[in-house]
Amino acid sequence: MKNESVMMVGPTAVPQRVLDAMNRKSISHRSVEYCEIQARVSAGLKKVFGTQNEVYILTSSGTGAMEAAIQNCFSFGDEVVIPILGTFSAQFAAMAEAFKLKVVRVDYALGEAADVETVMHHVTPATKGVFVIHNESATGVFNDLQAFGEVLKETDTLFITDSVSGAGGLEMKMDDWHIDILLSSSQKALMVPAGLAFISLSEKAWKASETSDIPTYYFDLKKSRDFYSKDQTPNTPAVYNVFAVDEALKMIFEEGVEQVYQRHEKNTLAIIDGVKQLGYDIFPKDEKRASRTLTAVYAPGKAKRIVEELAKRNIIVNGGLAPNEEDVFRVGTMGFIFKEDVDAFLNALSEVRNLFTDCP
Ligand SMILES: Cc1ncc(COP(=O)(O)O)c(C=O)c1O
């Protein structure tokens, strides 16, 4: 029985087994032992990403992998289309502009998912990339990547996906869904402390990298590719986080990837159902597109107080992101979250709800 349920949307709870895996002596990142671990980790990440392509480990948070995608595969002035669903898709657009890309924003109301028809309306033969977030952690909405991949696969446009809050918790089929650049990070469904990002490129993306004119150095993926042939990274990686990912992947494969996805789905649906029974709405406008790794709950004017009151009851969740700090709170079901956490959350919420005279 846990005495606290850490149900944040990232960084997420780190299992004791993963913490124990980091409690060991240091090794050189050029040693045979390290190379064996890295080889195992990249093989495991390929399964989680659903790809035959290499998955590169970067020592950074997820944002570093977003930068790597832009720096390596685009050129100054390239036109890209980005559906904006909330904070993190907006961050990708701002970053692309910082690298002097020409961004066509497709704006959605907060809580909506992106739809292929509207986005494709903005895609022309000049479009070099379409950036579709997998799971918008700000609003708790996930997108149908397969549908985007189907329409983009026949074009010269790259399909880029940020799955920072998806991979490891949501089904991911990079190759089958024709994703050209897929990125994620360690501190979400992969149950590892922050510090590593992961990125994988299709053949089409590597081809684009040959003509990219944006300078790279730390995030030069061609260098990563060279070093990967020796199961190493160009610079010193966060070796202890690599130990942690190794252990976390073992846990995921012991449970079974499909079972892990099912657990995420079941727990999230139980939360959606439970909060609705308590009288709250969820923030996503279409329940079918409500994320299966986190739930954004709509509690107008009360969200901050609810987060504080839940914390007093040892349930740690996150508040909303701007402009929804007062109205939305977010409950993570990513990674090491089980039915007992869901039950503890719902019990605590039903108590907290009664603190308000005009509940919910
Ligand atoms: C969907 C999404 N993309 C990108 C990021 C940024 O990742 P990081 O904070 O690891 O740099 C986050 C962080 O929460 C996220 O949820």
How confident is the model at residue 2, as a pLDDT? 78
How confident is the model at residue 359, as a pLDDT? 59
Residue 229, judged by CB atoms within 10 A of its CB (0-12, 13-18, 19+), counts as exposed
How confident is the model at residue 36, as a pLDDT? 98
| Cα angle 96, 185, 28; round to 5 | 115
The helices-and-strands tally (H runs, E runs) of the chain is 12, 15
The Cα 85–Cα 106 span in angstroms is 9
328-332 and 318-319 strand pairing? antiparallel
Pocket test for ligand 1, best of 9, 63, 190, 199 (most atoms within 8 A of CB): 63
CA 234 to chain centre: 24
Q: List the chain domain ranges.
A: 5-12+256-353, 24-252
pLDDT at residue 148 tops 70? yes
pLDDT tens-digit series, residues 114-126: 999 999 999 999 9
Pocket test for ligand 1, best of 89, 137, 292 (most atoms within 8 A of CB): 137
> What is the 330 CA–ligand 1 centroid distance (Å)?
14
Options 3.30.465.10, 3.90.1150.10, 3.40.50.460, 3.40.50.300; CATH of 5-12+256-353 = 3.90.1150.10
Nearest C-alpha to atom 8 of ligand 1 is from which residue? Answer: 62
Please identify, in words, the CATH class of the domain defined by 24-252: alpha beta
Three-state SS at 319? strand
How confident is the model at residue 60, as a pLDDT? 98
The Cα 71–Cα 90 span in angstroms is 18
Strand partners, 199: 56, 183
Ligand 1 nearest-atom number relative to CA 197: 10
| Cα angle 63, 137, 127; round to 5 | 60
Pocket test for ligand 1, best of 185, 188, 293 (most atoms within 8 A of CB): 185
Q: Which residues contact 253 (CB under 8 A, 6 or more apart)?
A: 44, 47
> What is the 344 CA–ligand 1 centroid distance (Å)?
27
Would the CATH topology of 5-12+256-353 be identical to that of 24-252? no
> What is the 185 CA–ligand 1 centroid distance (Å)?
8
Torsional sign, CA 130, 50, 265, 306 = negative
Record the tokens describing residue 339, joined without a space: 């039915």
> What is the 120 CA–ligand 1 centroid distance (Å)?
25
Question: Pocket around ligand 1: residues whose beta carbon is below 6 Å from it?
Answer: 10, 61-63, 88, 133, 135, 137, 162, 164-165, 185
DSSP of 139-193, one letter per residue?
A: TTEE--HHHHHHHHTTSS-EEEEE-TTTBTTB---TTTTT-SEEEEETTSTT---
User: What does the DSSP 8-state code read for residue 235?
Assistant: S
The Cα 41–Cα 77 span in angstroms is 36
pLDDT tens-digit series, residues 308-359: 999 999 999 999 999 999 999 999 999 999 999 999 999 999 999 999 876 5
> What is the 47 CA–ligand 1 centroid distance (Å)?
21
What percentage of the chain reaches a pLDDT higher than 70?
A: 99
pLDDT tens-digit series, residues 248-298: 999 999 999 999 999 999 999 999 999 999 999 999 999 999 999 999 999
Helix (H) or strand (E) holding 318: strand 318-319
pLDDT tens-digit series, residues 72-83: 999 999 999 999
Mean of all residue pLDDT scores within the chain: 97
The Cα 87–Cα 162 span in angstroms is 13
pLDDT tens-digit series, residues 223-249: 999 999 999 999 999 999 999 999 999
Q: Which residues contact 198 (CB under 8 A, 6 or more apart)?
A: 45, 49, 55, 56, 57, 58, 65, 167, 183, 184, 185, 186
pLDDT tens-digit series, residues 39-70: 999 999 999 999 999 999 999 999 999 999 99
> What is the 81 CA–ligand 1 centroid distance (Å)?
19
How confident is the model over 149-172, as a mean pLDDT?
A: 97
Record the tokens describing residue 248, joined without a space: 């976390």
pLDDT at residue 1 tops 80? no
Please choose, from the candidates 354, 265, 214, 246, the residue with its C-alpha nearest in 3D space to the C-alpha of residue 22. Answer: 246
